[in-house]
Amino acid sequence: MRTFLAAALCAAVLSAADSSRRAPGFSLPDAKTQQHDLADFRGKVVILDFMQTTCPHCSAFADILNEIQQRYGDRVAVLSVVNPPDDQGKVNNFAAAHKLTYPIVFDCGQVAYSYLRSPSFDIPHVYLIDSNGGIREDMGYNEGTKDLFEGKGLFSHIDALLGGGAGTAGGKKK
């Protein structure tokens, strides 16, 4: 009986352990050359968005991200990452057009590759990172994830991370 209880206890501890992949660290500049280090957001849920200023889905998602930033305040950090051919002028115009309240940082591809592990990917592509720095969600835009990027679907995922609930966290949706 003791062996069974010990085994059950071990199983419970292991199933409660965070099985998510650690978010690769980075420090990238925004259009004003201010550095944004992922480690500075430890203790918050982070929405890491890989996007492009000319992408219509990214444009719609920027408005959702602004709403998320306003709704959750300092409990959630939003960072968008762009790669060439986006430049300072394009990013400034995009940010002004959408009245963005969160930073867009510049990457030459190394950070995108460390997350996506692929030279090509669907954009927008978002990672939800928990307050301990673990990747809990990995979602690229497609018909199956459209509501997450254009509707209110992402809010329940954020609520689950903030409330400590498992929700659908831990999955990869493509």
Superfamily of domain 22-173: Glutaredoxin (3.40.30.10)
Specify the pTM: 0.81
Evaluate whether 150 touches 61 at the Cβ level (below 8 Å): yes
Residue for token pair 């409660």: 16
Contact residues for 47 (Cβ-Cβ < 8 A; gap 6+): 65, 68, 76, 77, 78, 79, 126, 127, 128, 129, 154, 158
Evaluate whether 47 touches 158 at the Cβ level (below 8 Å): yes
Over residues 124-166, the pLDDT tens digits come to 999 999 999 999 999 999 999 988 898 889 999 999 999 854 3
Over residues 81-140, the pLDDT tens digits come to 999 999 999 999 999 999 999 999 999 989 999 998 866 678 999 999 999 999 999 999
What are the boundaries of each domain within the chain?
22-173
Contact residues for 15 (Cβ-Cβ < 8 A; gap 6+): none
**DSSP secondary structure, 102-149, as one string:** S-EEE--SHHHHHHH-SS---SSEEEEE-TTSEEEEEEE-SGGGHHHH
